[in-house]
Amino acid sequence: MAMTVHLDIVSAEESIFSGKVERLIANGDLGELGVEPGHAPLLTSLNPGPIKVTLPGGEEEFFFVSGGMLEVLPHVVTVLADTAVRAEDVDEAKALEAEKMAREALQDQSSEIEFSKAAAELAEAVAQLRTLRAIRKKAGK
């Protein structure tokens, strides 16, 4: 039997996932980060993007987080995010529309605050689409 660690993925609204996993891969500030049982304690911020979880037995699940924090302790890993959803629950049409609107807003910026907001919205929309593509690639579609 493979070694596992307990993982909790929590958004501001609800708990999205709680259970044993063999591995977690996420996008931290310094790049892609893999966590397996026995990983050293760690606290890092997460960029918007996919989280890939390998369940006992090898099955994979994907989640999307809008950013947040990843905490690794000896027997539990916690992802705290403002927004976290199962990847299959991401609305592709809505993400494409958000990407389009953010790109338009970047063209029409009238202040630094609006530019920053549009850039953040664009990053989140692109991360959602990247998550959907990862699921499709895994499924062979």
pTM, rounded to two decimals:
0.69
Which pLDDT band holds residue 138 (cuts at 50, 70, 90)? low
Q: For all residues of the chain together, what is the average pLDDT?
A: 81
The hierarchical CATH code for the domain 5-87 is 2.60.15.10
For the chain, the domains span: 5-87, 89-139
SS3 49: strand
**Across the chain, where does the E strand assignment appear?**
5-10, 15-21, 23-28, 31-35, 42-46, 49-54, 60-65, 68-72, 76-80, 84-86
Span 67-99, pLDDT tens digits: 899 999 999 999 999 888 876 665 666 666 666
